[in-house]
A = this chain, B = another copy of it.
């Protein structure tokens, strides 16, 4: 007799993307498919020093069980890190005490804890269409019915969002307002305010996932919803904010954090206790020493500069090689281009078909359809500019030109 699994597993599908990823092993392929940072930019020496210092100065703390809420020295450093957000752009700094944030095992775990704490089977959750794939599956495992709110180059369309909130009365609204994955979109300041006003008006929790907010190419982006909540009375009590060191320092540390209303934090800590007891104190102590050593500003300057060059190169190449067969908004930060096949000139309009042809030409990317919780737009696709250098980007986009 085969094992009988839990009913909740019926609500997730094997990712279509996983099938595509299997093709990436093909020799010579240029990949724009991944969602990860360039390992060549990891500050290995800084992390090595931080790790050695952690083991030298606090071996017990770094190797023993720790508080579920997080390792105290790291909570202090993250509190200070939040205070430097936006590098002095007015209103972007976040004042949060160390005990007002909890450390999570990557921000993926923050999503899992939100699902565990908030979602009963059948509850509705509004996400952006498109949104982060692992968010869709994570929330579905807790039984959520996902409602998809449309986005444009300025992020989620708040007039549509309001209609959906009023209609569906969701348990919460999940947004990646700054350089979203996969949309690359930057939610405008006006819409940010509107989102917070909607939270208060409809008494709806809003989750701000912010792993990319530090990866801006020009001026700092508008304040996070968390920073902006100070200007919208009542909104802070309806806001959860997820941060991460994965995209700016190292995903391998698995260090993220969450700031949320007190009752939600208490429940999240309780759930985390039974999920993984606590995030690796070894990784937490290393991250704390890294931040304390003051290396982060230079690291951020470096990744911003490199990704900005790559994004510019990809935008120029796309215009040159694909012309009016695609449309896209040039991203101002993050890791991704989000593009749409126009079908102009009789060119291919289905991104799945385009992806297959691209693989044949030796270049990979991810079709957009799986990023939609509902009503997929099959003409969309995502290109990451993070891991290929400028020359590879030019060559890869030229191959896309051949594939189209």
Residues of chain B with a CB closer than 8 A to A9's CB: 117, 267, 270-271
Interface stretch among A148-156, A159-167, A246-254, A339-347? A246-254
CB within 8 Å of B: which of A349-365? none
**Among the interface residues A36, A61, A279, which one has the most CB atoms of the partner chain B within 10 A?**
A279
Q: List chain B residues, Cβ under 8 A from A205.
A: 3
Question: A64-B36, A106-B276 given as contacts; is B116 within 8 A of A6 (CB)?
Answer: yes
- Alpha-carbon distance between A28 and B19 when the two chains are bound, in angstroms: 60
Cα A217 to Cα B279 in complex, Å, equals: 31
Given contacts A8-B120, A59-B42, A118-B5, contact A254 B274 (CB under 8 A): no
Kindly provide the distance from the CB of A105 to the nearest chain B CB, expressed in whole angstroms.
4
Q: Write out, one digit per residue, whether chain A residues 58-83 have a CB within 8 A of any chain B CB (1) or not (0).
A: 01111111100000000000000000
- Residues on the B chain within 8 Å of A286, using CB: 282
Q: A141–B271 contact, CB under 8 A?
A: yes
Residues on the B chain within 8 Å of A274, using CB: 12, 108, 111-112, 134, 137-138, 141
Residue A109, interface by CB 8 Å: yes
Which residue on B lies nearest to A104, using beta carbons? Answer: B276
Residues of B within 8 A of A37 (CB): 64
Is A51 positioned at the interface, with any CB of B under 8 Å from its CB?
A: yes
Contact between chains at A66 and B252 (CB < 8 Å): yes
Chain B residues in 8 Å Cβ range of A8: 116, 120
Interface contact B120-A7, CB-CB below 8 Å: yes
Q: Is A179 an interface residue (CB 8 A)?
A: no
Contacts of A111 in B (CB 8 A): 274
A8 to B6 alpha-carbon distance, docked (Å): 15
User: With a CB–CB cut-off of 8 A, which chain B residues contact A246?
Assistant: 65
Q: Which residue of B lies closest to A110 (CB)?
A: B276
Q: In the bound complex, what is the Cα–Cα distance between A135 and B305 (angstroms)? A: 47
A250 to B44, CA, bound (A): 23
- In the complex, the chain B residue whose C-beta lies closest to that of A4 is B171
Min distance, Cβ A41 to any Cβ of chain B, angstroms: 10
List the B residue with the shortest CB-CB distance to A277.
Answer: B108
Smallest Cβ distance from A205 to chain B, in angstroms?
Answer: 6
Judge if A298 is at the interface, Cβ distance under 8 Å: no
Are B59 and A5 interface neighbours, CB within 8 A?
no
Interface assignment of A48: CB less than 8 Å from any CB of chain B: yes
- A263→B3 contact, CB < 8 A: yes
**A39 CB contact (under 8 Å) in B64, B105, B109, B285:** B64
- CA–CA, A4 to B263, complex, Å? 10
Question: Please, could you name 29 A-B residue pairs with CB atoms under 8 Å apart, sorted by A?
Answer: A3-B261, A3-B264, A5-B263, A8-B120, A9-B117, A12-B270, A39-B60, A42-B59, A47-B55, A48-B52, A51-B282, A65-B251, A105-B105, A105-B254, A108-B275, A108-B277, A109-B275, A111-B274, A112-B274, A112-B276, A137-B273, A137-B274, A141-B274, A251-B277, A254-B279, A254-B281, A280-B280, A280-B282, A280-B283
Closest 4 CB pairs of A and B: A252-B281, A138-B274, A63-B250, A63-B252
